[in-house]
Homo-oligomer: A and B are copies of this chain.
């Protein structure tokens, strides 16, 4: 090998694809978001020819937005100011501990922040994220503590006639012990999939932290895909890349509930678990809360811990009607068989609040015991992450 030049050395150290390079040079000059020592945050965007740049994010006061379903709370918006060299800026007040999301609107066009490569997909929308630490938000961080393993596997579902992708968290020490573990089945909402809880829900970080702090028992967390027509999340399955939708057919017609034991059987024959009721928990958000309610009563002697997070309690008279067949009878059986925790949580401004009041009324009339947590806020991942931090410590104690 002959002498080579310094240029080559530099090029080698910059040995990355040319595509990445040019965008890098543009973006490199900008830091966004910049989190200051007082937890205020400055956002910056290079948009030299824009006439108006806004930011929308869940740290801004909510605004009423018009939707085809009527007026709802939406994320707030505010303007960035053009400062210099084509850069626009907005600085927040100091923010409290939280995992926040945001995106920009540039002359009416939605855009993520090209300076921030940390993005989360929520159904078909991609937004940037950042964390202000402290308090409960430290549970969302990857800290320097023992970590569990997160596996994306495929299981055979005879009931649905396909191999399906599933996300499974095993706790720190699982691989190096012969111990058996309890299992939490954790279900996503409409438009979600087997990526939702692990990405938007920060499940691995929350469990790692709670287990390390001695606040939760080491447990396996199983995050299946509740859209029975999919083998996997959009982009991860045999349907290839396509725009994710909310209204996936057959998600609330009972098919998932009636085939759910395919998942339990897979887990219990492939992992070292305590395969009994006292070591099984099930919880879900929104549509996943609906699934949780029905699965736990369809198999009324299977789960000792049941968590309904902002549950989509659906009207019995509509398309989902047959799922509710004999609801009081099956709930009575579940009640008679016994369980250790039936946990219902919802935010005060959640559009499902009233449906949950009605469901609790029914449980009250039946004398069916539950615990109820009412939080601030609405139908948001911000609440669902917190519900997980509250629910997991209650399990398997």
Q: Are A150 and B151 in contact (CB under 8 A)?
A: yes
A243 within 8 A of B: yes
| A 64-86 contacts with B by CB, 8 A | 65, 67-70, 72-75, 86
Kindly state whether residue A373 has any CB partner on chain B within 8 Å.
Answer: no
CB-CB under 8 A from A55, the residues of chain B are: none
- Chain A, 346-381, contact with B by CB distance < 8 Å: what is the 0/1 string? 000001101100110110000000000000001111
Measured CA separation A274–B16 after assembly (Å):
34
A240→B3 contact, CB < 8 A:
no
In the complex, what residue of chain B is closest to A147 when comparing beta carbons?
A: B154
Enumerate chain B residues within 8 angstroms of A149, measured Cβ to Cβ: 151-154
In the complex, how many angstroms separate the beta carbon of A112 from the nearest chain B beta carbon?
Answer: 6
CB A109 to nearest CB in B, in angstroms, measures 4
Report the Cα distance A72→B10, complex, angstroms.
Answer: 13
Q: What interface size band does chain A fall in?
A: 35 or more
Q: Is the CB of A22 within 8 A of B75?
A: yes
Task: Produce 1/0 per residue, A153-197, CB < 8 A to B.
Answer: 110000000010100000000010000000000000111100000
Contact of A101 among B19, B48, B151 (CB under 8 A): B19
Tell yes or no: A122 within 8 A of B by CB: yes
Residues of chain A at the chain B interface (Cβ within 8 Å) = 1-28, 31, 45-52, 56, 58, 62, 65, 67-70, 72-75, 86, 101, 103, 106-112, 114-119, 121-127, 129-131, 141-144, 146-147, 149-154, 163, 165, 175, 189-192, 231-232, 234-238, 240-241, 243-244, 246-247, 252, 270, 286-287, 290, 310, 312-320, 327, 351-352, 354-355, 358-359, 361-362, 378-381
